[in-house]
Amino acid sequence: MDDILLLDAIERYLSGEMSPEERAYFENLRNTTPEIDQMVVEHNMFLHQIADYSANIQIKQTLHEVHQNLLERGDLNEGGTLSTKGKVIQFFNKYKRVTAIAASVGGVIALFISGLAMYFSTAVNDPKLEQLGKDLEVVKKNQQYQGNIINEVTSKIPINARLLSGGSGFLVDVKGYIVTNAHILKGTGAIVVNSKGKEFKSSIVLIDHVKDLAILKINDDEYEAIKSIPYTIQKSNSDLGEEIFTLGYPRNEIVYGMGYLSAKSGFNGDSLSYQIQISANPGNSGGPVFNKNGEVIGVLSTKQAQADGVAFAVKSKNIHSIIEDLKKSDTAFQRVKLPSKSSLKGVERKVQINKLEDCVYFVKAYGK
């Protein structure tokens, strides 16, 4: 498709000017052609930036018009100070509407400047990013959650504890070591829940806020270690456009998502992360990102707030790094061993998911 015609089609698609038949055809094209899908996302972001710039220009023009109006009426002199003409109270009564407008515009400018200040803060706290952990309610032992995951009557969360946040995690050692995101673990402890709804007590053994990764260890007599982990943790970088998929807990049951790797760096060029094109929601944080061979290439962590389907994943080589840090910090962890073989290459996706489900957990952090 000619580039100009393609851009025109994207414009009409985003503005809702396509007929139902055209829209259905274009959405099918978007779903089957990653390059076009990425162009739609980037063009949508570009249009938002243009709209923001236009709004800023309009604010400046409004301020200028208000200033000129006050000068012409003699209420301001050329130095920008108030004229002494009339009493202050009369001035306020006469121009309170203009003052209100100016105050409103000033408030908008203050918010705009605040936004700029936040833009240059760290990526994790950037308002354009949303962490994918989800908030959880206070634990009440006499209540039951809907769904098949938690029955609060028999929950292993300590009495009088408060559920603070939740997300996903996955096994990196059959002995019960689980990797998740650091930002999920807001409290003093966590439990993990498997795909069958069974809870296990766990302890936090390492948190790395810079890499936004953490390691949990299942410490529960009811935990039965699986024979082997079917995937490996990739050390090298993945290729642009590579097909990826995830498993995680944006709901009270495990959810599958599919997409592709859209950039080799994360938000604002963050070298620790990938940008991926995938649907992600609160609860997906800490979930594994697999390539088509079922190898872990990253850990899903954040998404861009105003861009459809743009998410970010911490690169899997950082998992190797934090495991080494863990071993150096305490000799008790010397026997932690990442999986070295994969049994998922060339396997049908449904079979891959079936083998992976037992390795992905719902992580629930609590505090008192």
Tens digit of pLDDT for each residue in 119-167?
433 444 555 666 655 655 433 333 333 333 444 446 889 888 889 999 9
Tens digit of pLDDT for each residue in 199-208?
999 999 999 9
Range 287-292 average pLDDT = 96
- Among 119-123, 305-309, 341-345, top mean pLDDT goes to 341-345
Tens digit of pLDDT for each residue in 181-191?
999 998 889 99
Q: Which of 364, 363, 341, 366 is nearest to 178 (CA)?
A: 363
- In the predicted structure, residue 271 carries a pLDDT above the cut 50: yes
Q: Which residue has the higher pLDDT, 254 or 133?
A: 254
Top-tier CATH class for 130-368: mainly beta
Q: Which of 18, 259, 53 is nearest to 10 (CA)?
A: 18
Q: Which residue has the higher pLDDT, 21 or 325?
A: 325
Report CA-CA distances (Å) from 213 to 286, 313, 318: 8, 11, 8
Coil/strand/helix, residue 201: strand
Query: Domain-by-domain residue ranges, the chain?
Result: 3-32, 42-120, 130-368
Range 98-117 average pLDDT = 46
Strand duo 273-277 + 310-315: pairing: antiparallel
Query: What confidence category does residue 2 fall into, taking pLDDT thresholds of 50, 70 and 90?
Result: low
Share above pLDDT 90 across residues of the chain, in percent, rounded to a whole number: 46
Coil/strand/helix, residue 80: coil
Query: What confidence category does residue 78 fall into, taking pLDDT thresholds of 50, 70 and 90?
Result: low
Question: Concatenated DSSP letters for 28-47?
Answer: HHHHH-HHHHHHHHHHHHHH
Number of alpha carbons in the 13 Å side-chain half-sphere of residue 171: 24
Res 131: pLDDT? 66
Supply the Cα-derived Rg of the chain in whole angstroms: 26
- In the predicted structure, residue 338 carries a pLDDT above the cut 90: yes
Question: Concatenated DSSP letters for 220-286?
Answer: -TT----S--S--B--SPPPTT-EEEEEE-SSSS-EEEEEEEEESS-GGG-TTEEEEE----TT-TT
pTM over 0.75: no
Query: What confidence category does residue 365 fall into, taking pLDDT thresholds of 50, 70 and 90?
Result: very high
What is the rounded distance in angstroms from the CA atom of residue 50 to the CA atom of residue 143?
Answer: 49
